[in-house]
Structure 1
């Protein structure tokens, strides 16, 4: 399962898995991280999963690189047969089009689709959260319909509002903060992806499944008011993962 183990600076180890972005590789990474958490090694500070790797940060005052690398390699077999934890399925409300989705009509025309068909194709899949990055809480999602693959804007916007839902290439995503951006904006969610005042500041975690669902403007305004009061506007459920999903 593990393809490589290499130092990453003087206090981190990069665990490399198969170099492909896929659900199978992600499940191996998720299982490996679950075993890391169960072990609770006193010399490990934290770990950061990515598409094809996990970077493990350790305390060099407690353990040497060779020792921790050997220990991490020893987790490989156990992680390969580990039963996955239940998967969180998070349903996210989106107001599509209009001022909140200024690129929806142009994107639809590009693909010779009606706007309603773009919305259907966007809300139909269950997206896998591969990892968080770029900005605090930004989810890297897999699963966008190939009928919606669209290049970034030629000229990025100077400001994109937090909560904006967009498409760029083969990806769809949600801006967690106000920032410049060149994604094609098709809608907006009132959900807060990043709240530094909370004990767990991030809405999403690697391994979550995300589903978008469309709301009308009146419902959107009600949800926005709830979000501004610090209340949740997403629906979180759990699904049991296949216990044999790591056997291959």
Structure 2
């Protein structure tokens, strides 16, 4: 995919700058957005309040009394040029293995409550619908396609700790599923769902419109920071993290739940280098390289 030559800059009142890298999501657009956010943060400009990278854009909140808006725009435009000229295209990040009980009774029961008037196919389940719209044989085939390739965290937000993830797969093989016709008023905590081309990993219970695929046994948001994986921060995922979902059965789900309650559970994870160039040239080869790190972790 070819990105627009220049980002689109939009001001939101006196305190916000929106930088739109591209109108559509892509690995390239997401990489540029996150790279700009990182480099602006590294400049330690006075007056920067917050930097929020998203799928193909970023939002910068600033104090105009400390940082004139023209100065901020100049810095961002300079960084945008730097990022696009950079030849290495690498990101030092982490890869996580995340267990999921696909087709679990909790999301099934919730889905059954929200069919008529909410869902495109009231007669089936979310997984069956997801398989159908992707031309797959059955729900099991969809589950396999969902967990066999890793996903990259493209943004974190909406509610505390909720990541949106984009699958590292050729465009022709990416999974895409429409969201509910009308959002549910309930979604079990730690539901793993899909809407459009994005997986959303619900950090807490609440409303939602993504098709529900399964449920995870371990938290991704720990405000009390009880587990060791949350020692530094209450939110597990950061933009750029790589996630490999691993299917588990009920017995393993319960076992992990017990470890979480005991405070002993640790996510399997490793440090890796993500290369945009390698991913675009040979996505499956680069995926294997990323996932090898989990085998030695």
Does the TM-score normalized on the shorter chain lie above 0.5? Answer: yes
- What is the CA distance between 1:155 and its match in structure 2? 5.8
> What aligned pairs does 1:22-171 form with structure 2 within 5 A after superposition?
22-80=26-84, 81=86, 83=88, 84-102=90-108, 103=125, 106-107=128-129, 110=132, 113-143=137-167, 149-154=176-181, 156-171=183-198
**Does the Cα contact within 8 Å between 2:9 and 2:17 map onto a contact in 1?**
yes
Unaligned runs of 5+ in 1: none
TM-score scaled by length of structure 2 = 0.72
**Does the Cα contact within 8 Å between 1:5 and 1:13 map onto a contact in 2?**
yes
1:126-170 deviations in Å (ceiling 9; x for gaps):
112111222222222222886853333456443211111123343
Count matched residues. 245
**Does the Cα contact within 8 Å between 2:128 and 2:139 map onto a contact in 1?**
no
1:206-239 deviations in Å (ceiling 9; x for gaps):
1112111011211111111222344444322222
Unaligned runs of 5+ in 2: 109-124, 226-231, 279-297
**Does the Cα contact within 8 Å between 1:93 and 1:214 map onto a contact in 2?**
yes
How many angstroms apart in 1 are the aligned matches of 2:195 and 2:168? 10
How many angstroms apart in 2 are the aligned matches of 1:82 and 1:232? 39
User: RMSD across aligned C-alpha pairs, in angstroms?
Assistant: 2.7
Q: Which moved more, 1:142-151 or 1:17-26?
A: 142-151
**Does the Cα contact within 8 Å between 2:10 and 2:19 map onto a contact in 1?**
yes
**Does the Cα contact within 8 Å between 2:130 and 2:211 map onto a contact in 1?**
no
TM-score scaled by length of structure 1 = 0.85
How many angstroms apart in 1 are the aligned matches of 2:95 and 2:167? 14
- In the other structure, the counterpart of 1:14 is 18
Change (3 A) 1:168 1:240: closer
- What is the CA distance between 1:76 and its match in structure 2? 2.3
How many angstroms apart in 2 are the aligned matches of 1:169 and 1:75? 30
